[in-house]
Amino acid sequence: MKETMKDIILNASVQMTESCHKTDFIVSRGERCLPDRSCIIRILKDLKRIMFPGYFGEENIALISPQYFIGDRLTDIYGKLKPQIEISLYYRDYEKYTEEEISERAEEVCEEFFKRLPYVQQMLLKDVQAGFDGDPAAKSREDVVISYPGLFAIFVYRIAHELYTQDVPFLPRIMTEYAHSRTRSITLAENPTLMSDEDYDTLLRIVEAEAGSEDIKGRVLVANVIMNRVKSEDFPNTVTEVVWDNSDGVPQFSPTYDGRINEVAVSDETREAVKQALKGTDYSEGALFFIQKSAAEEHNVKWFEKDLKRLFKYGVHEFYTYK
């Protein structure tokens, strides 16, 4: 006898339910649940409105008090953000802390986060200026704010970084993945390898942060190492994932954990170096690692010398690959 559609759906639901119960990360664990992605995205949109008042909402800043508008929005964001932080912390730390302790920790995170927002806005305004100065096609700063997907990616990463440095789980990743999904457009004029705007911006920033005091060749070399990793099976396959790789809890590039990657202003020299690297200039001899020994911790230096093959030194950096 042929199964009815009702029977097929019932059997499928039974089997899928069994799979869920066998896989502990699919279903919610007791009273715990995961943060609401749609709420996190709404928080980002609200934060964008207060970072650039009058650009991304219906409000007319000429007719209302900017201070009132920003204060009102911040209060609303706090009401949304704190519960999502609590949910994330409780999901991860419910065996370590009580609900009251987790709520107190969420409040501490919010306090530090909101204290840092004026600084984040100042850095974003510098990003706007850098975008305007560095792109001959930009007609105005307003043009950069409204239409540049790279600026949106930087905004999201700056916000996510503030939560990441406070060890908030889930939320930073949700934010950065949302930015990644929004910034897949291609910058053909400066980017012949057809990477996303997000990847291109990340490459510019890591080269500036790591080699901003080096000459053009020294900067090309850092870009070469990043691109070598992208091509290697031993590393992630996008620039952004390579740069922000945190394998085994260890950041691969110091500017990602000390914040320098978000603070640099990309120079014309760095743009030229990245352009050369993307067009095929390669001095790296296949290097996958580099280190400035004079600024590195002793255990890192020992690991490089013991476990890797030294290739050469240029400027302040020594370059290595696997043995």
Q: In the prediction, which pLDDT does 189 show?
A: 35
Of the listed ranges 25-34, 133-142, 308-317, the one predicted with least confidence: 25-34
Of the listed ranges 1-5, 58-62, 212-216, the one predicted with least confidence: 58-62
Neighbours of 307 (CB within 10 A): 11
The whole-model pTM stands at 0.56
Element containing residue 203 per DSSP (H, E):
helix 197-211
For 185, counting Cβ atoms within 10 Å of its Cβ (0-12 exposed, 13-18 middle, 19+ buried), the class is exposed
Q: In the prediction, which pLDDT does 169 show?
A: 93
State how far the Cα of 39 lies from the Cα of 45, in Å rounded to an integer.
10
Handedness of CA 85, 49, 136, 177 (dihedral sign): positive
3-state class (DSSP) for residue 157: helix
State how far the Cα of 115 lies from the Cα of 134, in Å rounded to an integer.
30
Closest of 230, 203, 222 to residue 314, by C-alpha? 222
Q: Report the percentage of the chain scoring pLDDT > 70.
A: 89
pLDDT tens-digit readout, 69-121:
899 999 999 999 999 999 999 988 888 999 999 999 999 999 999 999 999 99
3-state class (DSSP) for residue 216: helix
The alpha carbons of the chain give a radius of gyration, in whole angstroms, of 23
3-state class (DSSP) for residue 63: coil
Q: What are phi and psi of 321, to 5 degrees?
A: -140, 180
For residue 197, what pLDDT band results from cuts at 50, 70 and 90?
A: confident
